[in-house]
Amino acid sequence: MPKAMMTGAAGGIGQATARLLWQKGFHLILTDRDEALLHRTYPGVPGGSALYALDVTSLEAWQQAAQRFAEVDILIQLAGVMRVGTFIHQPIEEWHLQLQVNLMGLAYGAWVFGRLFAERGKGHLIHLSSLAGVTAIPGIVGYTATKFGVRGLSLGLDAELRPRGVPVTVIGPGPVRTPLILNELPKPESAYTLAAGGLLEPEEVAQAIWRAIRTQPREILLPRNKAIAARLISIWPALQGYAASLFEPGARRRRQKYLQTLLSGGTPS
C-alpha cells in the first residue's frame, strides 16, 4: 500500500486530499504544526495512517520525521500562510513568517526527504505553489515572492532528482476557497487575488495532486484559463498593468459578494 506524508493536513486542501487518497487506498501521515487542530480535524484515521505534529520551519523536526517515517513513498507539501496588504506598510514580521513557512519550510522538507528518496532511488516530491508563483499579484507581494521561490526550487530540483528516480511536481492553483483566502478577504488589497475570476474548490486541487501522483509531471497549473493568462503575463511583464486595470473592477465586485456571504454566515460559492 503506498504511503504519503502531507504537511498542512488540517487545511482545506489537506482535508480534501486526505479524503481522496484514502479512497484510493493510501496510508497517510498527516502533519500540521497545530497538534490540537490536527486531532480535531481528524478524530479518527484509517488503519495504517497516523497524525503527527510537525513544525515545518524546524530542520531538526524534519530530520526526526524522516527517521520516524523513512518508509514514506511520497511527500506532499501543502503548508502555507498568506498575509494580505501593501508590502511596505506591513510589519516585516509578516514577510518573515511567509518566508519561513512557505519557502524555507518547504525547502527543508525537500532537502531531507529528497536525500532519503535519492539514496533509495525512488520517491516523489509534490509541492504546492500558486499561480501567484507564475505572475506577481499586488496586495500579496510577500506571498507571491515565496511562491515564485517554491516554483523555482521545484523545477530546478526536478532536473537534479528525476534522473535519480525522484520526480518533483509543482502544482500552481489559482485562489482556493479555504481560510487562507477567506480570512484575508476583509482587507481591501485582497481583491487582487480575485482578479481573473472566482475561487477554486479544495477538491479541484486534490484532483490535481492525484493527477500528479499518477502521471508525475513537472508542473500542473489550474484552472486552465487563469494559467494561460498567468503564463502570458510572465512572458510579457508589461501586460501586468493592463491586466490589473482591466480585471480590478470585477475583482472588487467578487470580493464584496464573498464578504456579504461570509457576514451572513454562508459559504462563498
Tell me if 54 is assigned to some domain.
yes
Task: Identify the pLDDT of residue 45.
Answer: 95
The fraction of the chain above a pLDDT of 90, given in percent, is 75
Checking if the pLDDT of 269 tops 60, the result is: no
Predicted local distance difference test score (pLDDT) of residue 251: 72
Q: How confident is the model at residue 66 (pLDDT cuts 50, 70, 90)?
A: very high
**Has residue 88 got a pLDDT over 70?**
yes
Read off the pLDDT of each residue in 76-98 and give the average, rounded to a whole number: 97
Higher pLDDT pick, 3 / 263? 3
pLDDT at 36 over 90: yes
Instruction: Kindly give the pairing relationship between strand 27-32 and strand 168-173.
Output: unpaired
Q: What is the pLDDT of residue 144?
A: 97
Position 268 confidence tier, pLDDT thresholds 50, 70, 90: low
On whether residue 231 sits in a domain, the answer given is: yes
How far is residue 112's CA from residue 117's CA, in Å, rounded to a whole number?
9
Q: Is residue 248 part of a domain?
A: no
**75 phi, psi to nearest 5 deg:** -110, 120
Q: Is residue 25 part of a domain?
A: yes
Positive or negative, the CA dihedral 89, 91, 97, 103 is: positive
DSSP H or E run through 134 = none
Judge whether 205 and 179 are in contact, CB under 8 Å. no
Is residue 91 pLDDT above 90, yes or no? yes
Q: Which helix (H) or strand (E) holds 235?
A: helix 224-235
Is the backbone peptide bond immediately before 223 cis, with ω within 30 degrees of 0?
yes
What was the pLDDT predicted at 226? 86
- 28 within a domain of the structure (yes/no): yes
pLDDT (average), residues 247-256? 74
pTM as predicted = 0.93
Q: Is the predicted pLDDT of residue 196 greater than 70, yes or no?
A: no
Helix or strand or coil: residue 171? strand
If pLDDT is split at 50, 70 and 90, which confidence band does 263 have?
low
- Looking only at the bridges linking them, the beta strands covering 74-77 and 3-7 are parallel
Q: Fill in the amino acid letter for 219.
A: E
pLDDT reading at 193 higher than 60 = yes
60 Cβ partners below 8 Å, 6+ apart?
none
Q: Domain tally for the chain?
A: 1
246 has a pLDDT exceeding 80: no
Of the listed ranges 163-172, 175-184, 190-199, the one predicted with least confidence: 190-199
> Across the strands, what pairs with 31?
52
Q: Give the distance, in angstroms, between the CA of residue 2 and the centroid of all CA atoms in the same chain.
A: 22
* Class of residue 212 by CB neighbours under 10 A (exposed 0-12, middle 13-18, buried 19+): buried
Cβ–Cβ < 8 Å for 38, 9: yes
Using the 8-state DSSP alphabet, how is residue 176 labeled?
A: B
Please determine, for residue 211, whether its predicted confidence score (pLDDT) is greater than 60. Answer: yes
| Domain-embedded: residue 242 | no
Domain that holds residue 99: 3-180+198-237
d(CA 175, CA 84): 13
Question: What CATH number is associated with residue 10?
Answer: 3.40.50.720
pLDDT at 265 over 80: no
What rounded mean pLDDT belongs to the chain? 92
- Residue 77 dihedral angles phi and psi, to the nearest 5°: -105, 105
Task: Judge whether 190 lies within some domain.
Answer: no
Asked if the structure places residue 189 within a domain, the reply is no
pLDDT range class, residue 190, cuts 50, 70, 90: confident
Does residue 225 surpass a pLDDT of 90? no
